[in-house]
Amino acid sequence: STAGKVIKCKAAVCWGPKQPLSIEEIEVAPPKAHEVRIKIVATGVCRSDDHVLSGALDVNFPIILGHEAAGIVESVGEGVTNLKPGDKVIPLFIPQCGKCRCCKNPDSNFCVKNDLEKFNGVLQDNTTRFTCKGKTVYNFISTSTFTEYTVVDDIAVAKIHPDAPLDKVCLIGCGFSTGYGSAVKTAKVKPGSSCVVFGLGGVGLSVIIGCKVAGAAKIIAVDVNPDKFAKAKEFGATECINPKDYDRPINEVLAEMTDGGVDYAFEVIGNTGIMTSALKSSFFCGGKTVIVGLAPSNATMTFDPMLMLTGRVLTGAFFGGFKSKDDVPQTVDDYVNKKINFDGLITHELPFEQINEGFELLRNGKSIRTVLNF
């Protein structure tokens, strides 16, 4: 057994922005108290990882990215009682400590133990278990899944159904849950309502799945890449529009299509200008806008506050408002029991070593989700 020993394995190390990931041999130290070492089996490529590669998000380097994965427990540290080697798990990019003010609030899914606000890149004890070429390698948002083995805090991992296909349910670790939850939990889309979704990547298409399940009557899909429209319709979009086809603001077009504005608008790109467009496209009495996209570090959104005085609601969430440790196992059960399906989001599967190709497919708009298999 490898328990208690340092594991040497392959990882995609990010030495800095604007350069390819480098497949390196790294050392992964054993888990300390309340930590879990996981053998990653499958991981998806999400735009948030690419935001680090493009330089849009400020993190500490070198770092091991990846936050949408599924794997198997290799060993556990002292004090971990609810997990054992061999358990199937999904790492959680928002932990759920269960004890903090956010965790105790039934309406919040955030946790003060998160690493999403500052990207410190360390575990709860302020260190990491990764080294490469003698250097400390940082963690990414409590997970770091672009590696054969990772170590996470036990508050940042959920045990899942033993029959779950890991090369599919890895998407429950981010893309599917984030989009679907944004519609059903954060916005609480009502039957018969109208929705607009800006950005039709893996997350945006999952918002559409959620809007459809919630019974929305109108689901308008917006993207500058019309290649995304076929999938959007497959998942439930009733109309697809490309802002480039119009010479006036897209919110005006949407207002005409929806008797004055949509009931729910979702920004799933990470563009602060589009966030304002989403807000403007929501109905002036009670229309709700949900920010899902991750804007660049230090970006700001500006808008006329009069937009709010008429009763619009602006909100946002990480991970679709899902309480991670509670909702991930339930969502996996729903997948195993065929109550939900999102297989159509996976357009490409590649061996882990071809990770840079996975990012190229995302950047040139050819993929929805690429799943990397180890």
Residues annotated as catalytic are 46, 48, 51, 67, 174
CA distance 189 to 43: 29
CA distances (Å), 339 to each of 56, 116, 335, in order? Answer: 37, 31, 6
The contacts of residue 130 (CB under 8 Å, 6+ apart) are: 11, 26, 27, 28, 29, 64, 136, 137, 138, 139, 144, 147, 151
Question: What, of ligand CND, Zn ion, none, does residue 111 touch, CB below 5 to 8 Å by kind?
Answer: Zn ion
State the minimum distance, in angstroms, from the CB of residue 371 to Zn ion: 13
The contacts of residue 229 (CB under 8 Å, 6+ apart) are: 200, 221, 223, 237, 240
Stretch that binds ligand CND, among 23-31, 161-169, 286-294, 341-349 (CB under 6 A): 286-294
95 vs 204 by CB, closer to ligand CND: 204
Task: Please give the full DSSP string across 325-350, using - where no structure is assigned.
Answer: HHHHHHHHHHHHTTS---GGGEEEEE
Asked if 200 touches ligand CND (CB under 6 A), the answer is: yes
On whether the CB atoms of residues 186 and 108 are closer than 8 A, the answer is no
On whether the CB atoms of residues 101 and 112 are closer than 8 A, the answer is yes
CA atoms within 13 A of residue 58's CA, in its CB half-sphere: 5
CA distance 187 to 184: 6
Residue with tokens 């480039």: 244
State the minimum distance, in angstroms, from the CB of residue 201 to ligand CND: 2
Other CB atoms within a 10 A radius of the CB of residue 125 amount to: 12
22 vs 347 by CB, closer to ligand CND: 347
Question: What, of ligand CND, Zn ion, none, does residue 200 touch, CB below 5 to 8 Å by kind?
Answer: ligand CND
User: Please, what is the Cα angle at 359 between 150 and 160, to 5 degrees?
Assistant: 40
State the minimum distance, in angstroms, from the CB of residue 218 to Zn ion: 27
Question: What, of Zn ion, ligand CND, none, does residue 103 touch, CB below 5 to 8 Å by kind?
Answer: Zn ion
What Rg do the C-alpha atoms of the chain give, in angstroms?
20
Asked if 198 touches ligand CND (CB under 6 A), the answer is: yes
State the minimum distance, in angstroms, from the CB of residue 113 to Zn ion: 5
CA distance 25 to 22: 10
52 vs 157 by CB, closer to ligand CND: 52
Site residues for ligand CND, 163-182, by CB under 6 A, read 174, 178
Q: Footprint of Zn ion on this chain (CB under 5 A)?
A: 46, 48, 97, 100, 103, 111, 174
Amino acid at 298: N
180 vs 319 by CB, closer to ligand CND: 319
CA distance 319 to 185: 10
From candidates 225, 238, 347, 373, binder to ligand CND by CB under 6 A: 225
Rounded to 5 degrees, φ, ψ at 49 are -65, -40
160 vs 291 by CB, closer to ligand CND: 291
State the minimum distance, in angstroms, from the CB of residue 63 to ligand CND: 16
What is the per-residue binding string for ligand CND in 37-66, x denoting contact by CB under 6 A? ---------xxx--x---------------
Query: How many amino acids of this chain bind ligand CND (CB under 6 A)?
Result: 31
From candidates 158, 219, 255, 294, binder to ligand CND by CB under 6 A: 294
What is the per-residue binding string for ligand CND in 236-275, x denoting contact by CB under 6 A? -------x------------------------xxxx--x-
Per CB under 6 A, residues contacting ligand CND are 46-48, 51, 174, 178, 198-204, 222-225, 228, 243, 268-271, 274, 292-294, 318-319, 362, 365
